[in-house]
């Protein structure tokens, strides 16, 4: 309802959206039916009506029956195109998949699945969160498509992208059919990883690079164990795999003399966000090096460890720090 917004009717538009959202419960799978599809002429649709009026005047004034016929054909087309625009959305099934966590300042992706109505094509469907880029796609040759629709993540914590707007102006741009869907999707926004020096109280004493070699040097190769999903590619014994021996994972046992702690209390200066950004950077850094680390935040302690889950728990704690209980 862009023309409406331009006319200063934004408040009405917003209220209408609230109302339409309140009519349907949050759901992970939505099939678009007539009671949730709205349709109104677009600006160019009103332009078309003006054209029709001009043509009708011409027909009346010149008493020209062929101009009447021409006008009526276009008028019928106008009406029929309502059904085509509506049909372009109707029957479409939307499956809500998941939200991808991201770092502050990036775009969080939300995975959505669109299923075409049986035996029908959908062209030029536009998906958009309240903010963020619009994504336009066709659902013609394939019956189903999975898209990642992104939404800017300006702040740390849980990101609610708001209702999803699914709309189309196909086929003639005279009408815009749209629907609002409350997907209930959220994504976690981690602090932006800001490279910084590791404070003295931790392990990596002075120079990053030195710390790196030191830490890697402490790893001791233990042997191979069977591959399990979720292991980082860096740990896979590719040589063995290349020899056709199957997927194995190299086991390292870090000789941890002094445990590494990323400690909020010992972190040097800066505001809350700056501190979190620094810690976040090192969480990622240690995880890449597979260096076990612990995290200590006010009211939250994560004992030292490694692995994907460990990293995610740490990042989540950082993301939600001060926002709510973890």
Partner 1 sequence: MRQISRAAVLWQLIAFIAVVLPHFGWLPWWLIGLCVGAPALRLMIHAGRWPFPHWSIKLALVVAVSGGLLLTFNRDTGMSATVALLVAGLALKMIEIYHRRDALVLLYVALFVAATTFLFYQSIGVALYVMLALGVVITALNSIFQNPMQNDMMRPLRRSGRLLLFSLPMMLVLFLLFPRIGPLWSIPLDRQAARSGLSDTMSPGEISQLTRSDELAFRAAFSDAPPLPSQRYWRSLVYSHFDGRRWTREPWEQRARLEDERLIDESSPVTYEVIYEPSRRRWLVALDQPAVAPRDYRLGYARTLVSDRPVDRRINYEVTSYLQYKLSPELLSERKRALFLQLPEAGNERARALADQWWRAAQQRPEPFVQQVLNYFRGDFSYTLTPPALQGDTIDQFLFETRQGFCGHYAGALAFLLRSVGVPARVVGGYQGGEWNPYEGYLTVRQYDAHAWVEYWQPAGGWVRVDPTAAVSPDRVEGSADQVFAQDPAFLSETPLARLRLGQDGWLAELRRRAEAINFNWHRWVLNYQGQQIELLKGLLGQLSMVKMVLAMMGPVALILAAVAWFQLRDRRRRPSDPISRGLTTILKRLERQGFQRHPSEPLHRFLRRVAEAAPEVADPLLRLAQADEAVRYAEDPGQRDTLLSAVKACQNALARNTSVIHKRIEDEKAGR
Q: In this structure, what token pair is assigned to residue 201? A: 């109280």
Q: Which of 8, 22, 25, 66 binds partner 1 (CB under 8 A)?
A: 66
Q: Which stretch binds partner 1 (CB under 8 A): 14-22, 75-83, 202-210, 276-284?
A: 75-83
Q: Residue 316 CB, nearest distance to partner 1 (Å)?
A: 37
Asked if 198 and 281 touch (Cβ cutoff 8 Å), the reply is: no
Helix (H/G/I), strand (E/B), else coil: 270: coil
Beta-bridge partner residues of 55? none
Q: How far is Cα 195 from Cα 205, in angstroms, rounded to an integer?
A: 16
168 close to 85: Cβ distance less than 8 angstroms: yes
**Dihedral, CA atoms, 164, 165, 166, 169, nearest 10 degrees?**
-170
Q: What are phi and psi of 321, to 5 degrees?
A: -60, 125
Closer residue to partner 1, CB minimum distance, 117 or 283 = 117
The answer to whether residue 54 forms part of the interface with partner 1 (CB under 8 A) is yes
Q: Is 93 in the site for partner 1 (CB under 8 A)?
A: no
Q: By C-beta, is 171 or 199 nearer to partner 1?
A: 171
The reply on whether position 11 binds partner 1 by CB under 8 A is no
In the block, residue with structure tokens 């008028």: 75
76, 142, 146, 266: residue in contact with partner 1 (rule CB under 8 A): 76
Is there binding between residue 51 and partner 1 (CB under 8 A)? yes
- For 12, 213, 215, 270, the CA distances from 208, given in Å and listed in that order, are 57, 9, 10, 21
Strands (E), 282-323: 293-297, 300-305
Which region among 114-122, 226-234, 246-254, 273-281 touches partner 1 (by CB under 8 A)? Answer: 114-122
CB 151, CB 161: distance < 8 Å: yes
CB-nearer residue toward partner 1: 60 or 326:
60
Residue 48 binding partner 1, by CB under 8 A: yes
Residue 123 engages partner 1 in binding (rule: CB under 8 A): yes
Site string for partner 1, 142-181 (x = CB under 8 A): ---------------------------xxxxx--------
Contacting residue, 11, 25, 65, 243, with partner 1 by CB under 8 A:
65
Please list every residue from 275 through 304 that binds partner 1, using CB under 8 A. none
Quote the CA–CA distance of 125 and 114 in Å, as a whole number: 10
Binding piece for partner 1, criterion CB under 8 A, among 73-81, 185-193, 250-258, 296-304:
73-81
Task: Pick the binder of partner 1 from 46, 62, 238, 241 (CB under 8 A).
Answer: 62
137 vs 249, which CB is nearer to partner 1? 137
Beta carbons within 8 Å of 27's beta carbon, 6+ residues apart = 96, 182, 184
| Smallest gap from residue 323 Cβ to partner 1 (A) | 39
Establish if 224 lies at the interface with partner 1 (CB under 8 A).
Answer: no
Considering only the stretches 70-78, 155-163, 253-261, 277-285, report the one whose residues sit in contact with partner 1 under the rule CB under 8 A.
70-78
Q: Give the start-end residues of each E strand in 9-156.
A: 29-31, 38-41, 93-99, 102-103, 107-115, 122-128, 135-139, 144-152
119-121-124 Cα angle (round to 5): 165
Residues that bind partner 1 (CB under 8 A): 44, 47-48, 51, 54-55, 57-58, 60-77, 79-81, 83-84, 87, 90-91, 117-120, 123-124, 136, 138, 169-173
């Amino acid at each position: 309802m862009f023309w409406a917004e331009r006319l200063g009717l934004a408040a009405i538009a917003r209220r209408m959206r609230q109302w339409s959202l309140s009519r349907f419960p949050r759901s992970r799978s939505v099939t678009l039916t007539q009671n949730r599809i709205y349709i109104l002429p677009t600006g160019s649709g009103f332009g078309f009506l003006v054209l029709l009026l001009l043509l009708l005047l011409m027909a009346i004034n010149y008493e020209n029956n062929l101009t009447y016929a021409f006008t009526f054909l276009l008028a019928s087309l106008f009406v029929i195109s309502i059904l085509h625009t509506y049909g372009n959305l109707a029957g479409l099934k939307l499956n809500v998949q998941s939200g991808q966590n991201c770092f502050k300042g990036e775009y969080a992706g939300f995975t959505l699945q669109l299923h075409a109505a049986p035996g029908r094509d959908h062209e030029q469907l536009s998906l958009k969160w309240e903010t963020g880029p619009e994504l336009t796609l066709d659902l013609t040759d394939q019956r189903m498509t999975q898209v990642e629709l992104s939404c800017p993540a300006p702040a740390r914590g849980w990101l609610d992208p708001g209702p999803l707007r699914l709309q189309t102006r196909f086929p003639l741009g005279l009408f815009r059919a749209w629907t609002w869907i409350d997907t209930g999707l959220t994504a976690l926004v981690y602090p932006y990883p800001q490279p910084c020096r590791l404070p003295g109280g931790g392990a990596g004493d002075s120079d990053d690079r030195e710390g790196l070699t030191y830490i890697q040097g402490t790893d001791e190769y233990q042997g191979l164990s069977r591959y399990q999903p979720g292991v980082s590619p860096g740990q896979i014994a590719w040589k063995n795999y290349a020899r056709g021996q199957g997927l194995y994972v190299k086991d390292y046992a870090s000789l941890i003399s002094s445990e590494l702690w990323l400690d909020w209390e010992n972190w040097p200066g800066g505001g809350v966000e700056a501190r979190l950004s620094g810690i976040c950077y090192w969480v990622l850094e240690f995880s890449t090096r597979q260096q076990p680390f612990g995290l200590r935040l006010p009211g939250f302690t994560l004992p030292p460890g490694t692995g994907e889950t460990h990293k995610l728990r740490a990042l989540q704690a950082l993301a939600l720090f001060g926002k709510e209980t973890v």
